[in-house]
Structure 1
Amino acid sequence: MEASLDLRPSLSLFGLEGLRAAFELFSHHVTTSVETAPLAAGDGHPVLIFPGLGADGSAVGPLREHCRKLGHPALDWGRGCNLGVSGDPDEWLRCLADEMAQRLQPHAQPATLIGWSLGGIYAREIARLHPAGVRQVITIGTPFNADADHSNAGLLLRLFGCGAPALDKAWAARLRRPLPVPTTSIYSRSDGVVAWQTCRHTRRSPRTEDIEVEGSHMGLAWNREVLQVLTDRLAQPADRWRRYKPAA
C-alpha cells in the first residue's frame, strides 16, 4: 500500500535539517582525518551518482570520494544542479538514460547507480530502461513509494529560491514496481525532508533490501552509516547478492 498524505515530516525535524547536516559534515571530516585503516578494495566496476533535488555534484562529493577510495571509478551525473524533471517525464527520462549509457560506455562492467533523494528516482528508472548495463541500484533517502506530497522538498527549494517541480502521479505509480536488478534503499526515520515510510519497499523480493540509518536528510550524502552500507554493497560479487552485513 502506498503512503498516506499525512506522512510528511514534522516542521520541527525540517527546521533542524541544516544544523544537523552541518554537524554530520563536521563529524565526517573529523572521522576521515583520523582513519588509518585502508578500505577494502572493490572490483573496479563503475559507479554513477545522482544528486538530490536542488543539489549538484559537489553535494555528493563525499559519496564519490568514498567510492574512489574503494577502487571504483565514480562518475558525476554531469548535469549540474538537479532541478527536477521538465517536460514529458517519459521523454526526459529516456534522454537521461541514453546520456548515462553513453557516459558508462567506456567501462566494460555494468555500473552501480547511486541516487540521493530525487536522484534515486532517476537511478531506479535508468535501471528499468537499461537493466543490462546496471549491476545494482542504491537509493539514499529516496521517496520512490509515494508522490511529491509526502515531502517538504517544495518548502526547501523555495528557501533556496528555486521552483518546486511536481512529480507526475503516473510516473510515481511506476516507481513503486520492483526493479529487475538488486536494489537497496537507505532511509532515516529522523529525515526532515521526506517521509521515511515512502523510502521502503512494500513489495519484497530476494534481491531487495531496506536499510535504516540515523541522520538528517541533507546529511545523508556524508553520513558514516551510509558510507558503511555502500562499502558492503559495492564489495559484493555481481552474481552473489546477499543481505547487508553491518561492520563489527
Structure 2
Amino acid sequence: MIRKIIKPQPELSDFVENLWMLENTSDSPHEIVVLPNGRFDIMFFYSPEQSFHIMRMGLETEPAQTAIPPKALLFAISFKLLAIEYLLDVKAASIINTADALPKDFWGITKEDLNDFDQFCDKVSVKMISLIKPDIDPRKQKLFELIYASNGAMSVKELSEKVFWNSRQINRYFNDHFGISLKAYCNIVRFKESLEHIKEGRLFPELNYTDQNHFIKEIKRLSGVVPKELFKDKNDRFLLFHTLPKK
C-alpha cells in the first residue's frame, strides 16, 4: 500500500482536515476496517475492476469491513463538519454509515486527474475555495474550533456555555445536518485522537475517559477491537491508521 497525506491550504483549514491517497499496488485485494474519524469524505476512485467513480461518504459511527481492489487508486478529501453547510451545501444525515454516488463529472475531476496527486490537490483546492459561502455563523465556527481543539473531550454543557448557544438547539442542529448528537460526535473525535496515542503504544486513557475500563470499552465499541489489537494493526488493515499524519 502506498500512502500520502497533505494538509489543506490555509483558506480551507476550517473546512478540510486533509487530502490523502491510497494505492494498492498488488494483484490481490487488501482487506481493511474503516474506522470512525468524525469526518465526511469525498473519494475519487479508480481500479481495473470498477473503473472510475466518485463517492460521498457519510459520518461513520461504527467500524466497517471492506477491501481495496487490486491495482486500485484512491484520492480523497476529508471534510470537517462545517463544510457540510458552508462549502458543500448538503445535509449528511441521510448517508450516515453509508455512501452515495456522485456524478462522474463532479468538480470537473476525471480519471486522468488521478495521475498526479499534487496536481489533483491543487485543482480541487481551487474549486473548494470558490465554493466557500460568506457569513458563517460565528457560534458554529467557534463550536467546531472548541471540539477539535479539545479533541472531543469537552462536555456538551461546557461547549454550550462557551459559544452562548442552547445545548438543545445545538443537538437539533447536529441531528438535522449530520444525523448524530453533539455528544456522540465528540466521542468519535476523542476516539480518533486516541488512535494517535494507541499507534504510539500508549494503551491508556488520556482524554477525559472515566477510567481504563471506560477507555477500553469505547475503543472497542468504535473500532471492534481492544486497544492492544489496534496497536498491533495486524495485516495493516485499519484504514484510519493509514491516514493519520506522521508527527
TM range (shorter): under 0.3
Higher strand share: 2
* Rg (Cα) greater in structure: 2
More contact order relative to length (CA 8 Å, sep ≥ 6) = 1
TM-score of the pair, normalised by structure 2: 0.25
TM-score of the pair, normalised by structure 1: 0.24
